[in-house]
Each structure stands twice: as structure tokens, then as C-alpha cells.
Amino acid sequence: MRVLIPPPLHSYTGGVSIVPGTGATLAEVLDDLDTRYPGIRFRIIDEQDRIRPHIRFFVNAKMAAGIDQTVGPADDVQIICALSGG
């Protein structure tokens, strides 16, 4: 599985924009990411396990409704930061 990391989170991945991921659900993928990149999960998922308001997850280019969504080893998971600057 590939996980595409958006630029605002590159400080966690050492500047890497695509990292390998493992897990049967997005939640498990995030737990795995947080193990390797401590702190990354809380920046995109709140303490109630909700995706933060300006973050979206896409699995194979289809938007995920929540982190319970199942994923497979051949999937592409893309984390998107919606526009919220200004």
C-alpha cells in the first residue's frame, strides 16, 4: 500500500511524500504511520477519531467517509489538506 502524504505533514516524514502503509482499515494505517512518524495521527484525526474538518482521505481516488473504511495492500491512500489558508 502507498500512502501519499501532503506537504503540511512532510515535517513528520522527513520530506517524503509517498510512504508505505500497512493495515486492514484506515485507522490501522494511521496507527502504523503514527508509530513510525510520532504525532502525525493527532494532526489529522481528533481525539474522537474524527477526521479533522479540513482533511480528507481518498482510497484509490474515492473519498473515504471515515477511518473505519477497509483498505487492501494494493490500495493507494491519499491524505488531502483542503484549502484553508488566507
Partner 1 sequence: MSQTGQRSSRVTVMVGTRKGAFLFHGDPSRHQWRLDGPHFLGSIVYHLALDPRDGRTLLMAAGTGHLGPTIFRSIDWGRNWTEAGSPPAFPKAAAGAAGQDGNNKPRAVDHVFHLTPGHATQPGVWWASTSPPGLFRSEDGGATWKGIHGFNDGVVPEISHTIGPVPGGPIAHSVLVDPHDPAHLYVGISTGGIFESKDSGATWRPLNKGVAADFIPTPDPEYGHDPHCIVLHPTRPSRLYHQNHCGLYRLDRPGDTWERIGRNLPPEIGDIGFPIVVHPRDPDTVWVIPMDGTTVWPRTSVGGRPAVYRSADAGSSWERQDDGLPREHAWLTIKRQALSADACDPVGLYFGTTSGELWMSATQGDSWRLIAQHLPEIYSVSAGMVAV
Shortest spacing between CB 46 and partner 1, in angstroms = 4
SS (H, E, C) the chain: CEEECCHHHHHHHCCCCEEECCCCEHHHHHHHHHHHCCCHHHHHECCCCCECCCEEEEECCEECCCCCCECCCCCEEEEEECCCCC
Residues that bind partner 1 (CB under 8 A): 6, 8-9, 38-39, 42-50, 52, 54-55, 81-82, 84-86
Shortest spacing between CB 38 and partner 1, in angstroms = 7
Shortest spacing between CB 1 and partner 1, in angstroms = 22
